[in-house]
Amino acid sequence: MKKTVVIGGNFAGFTAALEVKRRGGDEYEVLVIDKSPVFLFIPSLIWVPFRRREMKDITIRKDVIFKKKGVDFMLAEALQVDPDHNMVRTDKGDVHYDELVIATGPKVKYDVAPGVAEYATYIGTPKGAMDIRKRLEEFEVNPGPVVIGATQSAGCMGAAYEFLFNFEKWLRDKKIRKKVDLHWITPEPYVGHFGIDGMVGAETMLKTFMNMFNIHFHTEVGVEKMDAHTITLTNGEELPHAFTMLMPPFIGVDFVTKSPQLGATAAGYIPVGEDYRHPVYPNVWAAGIAVDVKLPFTPGKVPFGSPKTGYPSDETGKIVAKNIIKVHKGDKNLIKKAWGAIPGLCVMDAGKKEVLIISNHLFKPRSFAVMIPNVLYDFNKVLFEKYFLWKTRHGYSFLP
């Protein structure tokens, strides 16, 4: 029996583990090692501060699902891998593997600039979302200027855009919009770039939204420093703030950076081929955010990273699982699909409005790319959430 160990159990790891077991059956022992027994549907975190969702609505006990599907689960922290001896060290003991899948997700670099960790909020974690909810209660009583956006080297601008438009809608609902000077800051060379070199009509559409909602926008900027009252941008401009939400950079987790044989990049990501296989250790694979992705274009004055969202994470989890089975069957014709060649499928929420973003490739060159606005209601965003949570609760990892 072959033993596949998966480190991390959210989008990429969850899919990879279930797919190896589904495809391999009784010939494969699959073990997931994770610090949390809960699957979190991260895209819906943007709704939590505004009480449109509670945390219980977007979390699922993945350990229960794994048990039903014949996948073992170890509630532990993976500390380091020794790929020369096929061994993972955890805080609950050492674990041997035949194949290793690293799907650890990111670590957030809160200290990207002085003051950011202390004075900015972050929507990307349950704690951060609940902290913002509490701060908004205080802000409603005493509103002031607001800054929302992404710092230098950030790669998740999409979620920041979503929070921006949801926040603006919340201001109008609370009837305090006229009391708030709202600013958007981003390292992108233009609004609507999204870290993917833009799409046809994206800049025009986003500028229209910014003007429609009276949002001041600042492009090709990062954060030099901030304190309780002022944010200083890298172009020297100073913005007063009473509330700030910023997307900091993602970096590799400690498990990766403390495993030097993996040869991680300076940012802590794992080098792999288009088959997501490690170039030195053929029984080590990476999926999701842990994968090193090179931008096929020059960012501009201010650096930023590549977007690593749920869809390509799920897709790379499937690719890794298929390739592991192929290797064990002696099939050398592995599936290859570079991160940038994965289709771009995203629904950007805009405060009970939405934009559907669809392309045949995440990065250029593309033969098909379209952005479809829906100004009536964010029906597709809600529908996608319901579908993905249903799929996850049933362990239907094979579905798109």
pLDDT confidence of residue 298: 85
Q: Topology of 2-106+252-336 in CATH?
A: FAD/NAD(P)-binding domain (3.50.50)
Rounded to whole angstroms, what are the CA distances from 189 to 97, 192, 203?
Answer: 45, 9, 10
Work out the average pLDDT over 170-177.
Answer: 98
Helices (H), 179-259: 202-212, 254-257
- With a cut of 90, say whether residue 376 has pLDDT above it: no
The 10s digit of each residue's pLDDT in 70-121 is: 999 999 999 999 999 999 999 999 999 999 999 999 999 999 999 999 999 9
Which helix (H) or strand (E) element contains residue 161? helix 157-173
pLDDT confidence of residue 147: 98
The 10s digit of each residue's pLDDT in 231-255 is: 999 999 999 999 999 999 999 999 9
pTM score, whole prediction: 0.95
pLDDT confidence of residue 67: 97
Work out the average pLDDT over 218-233.
Answer: 98
How is residue 211 written in tokens? 């003007």
pLDDT confidence of residue 306: 85
Confidence of residue 397 (pLDDT cuts 50, 70, 90): very high
Query: How many whole angstroms separate alpha carbon 381 and alpha carbon 60?
Result: 19
Q: What is the mean pLDDT of the chain?
A: 96
How far out from the chain centre does Cα 115 lie? 23
The 10s digit of each residue's pLDDT in 34-53 is: 999 999 999 999 999 999 99
The 10s digit of each residue's pLDDT in 260-317 is: 999 999 999 999 999 999 999 999 999 999 999 998 988 889 999 988 888 999 999 9
pLDDT confidence of residue 200: 87
Looking at the chain, the whole-number percentage of residues with pLDDT higher than 70 is 100
The 10s digit of each residue's pLDDT in 123-163 is: 999 999 999 999 999 999 999 999 999 999 999 899 999 99
Q: Where are the domains of the chain?
A: 2-106+252-336, 116-249
Work out the average pLDDT over 197-206.
Answer: 92
Task: Please check whether the two domains, 2-106+252-336 and 116-249, share a CATH topology.
Answer: yes
Q: Is the bond preceding residue 365 a cis peptide, omega within 30 degrees?
A: yes
pLDDT confidence of residue 183: 98
Span 116-249: which CATH code? 3.50.50.60
Let me know: does 217 contact 184? Beta carbons within 8 Å: yes
pLDDT confidence of residue 91: 98
Residue partners of 331: CB distance under 8 A and separation at least 6: none
Nearest to 254 by CA among 109, 80, 110: 80
Work out the average pLDDT over 327-335.
Answer: 96
Nearest to 377 by CA among 337, 349, 344: 349
Query: How many whole angstroms separate alpha carbon 151 and alpha carbon 249?
Result: 7
- With a cut of 90, say whether residue 375 has pLDDT above it: no
Work out the average pLDDT over 189-202.
Answer: 92
Kindly write down the DSSP assignment for every residue of 246-303, as one continuous string.
EE--EE--HHHHT-GGG---TTS-B---TTSB-SS-TTEEE-GGGB----SS---SS-
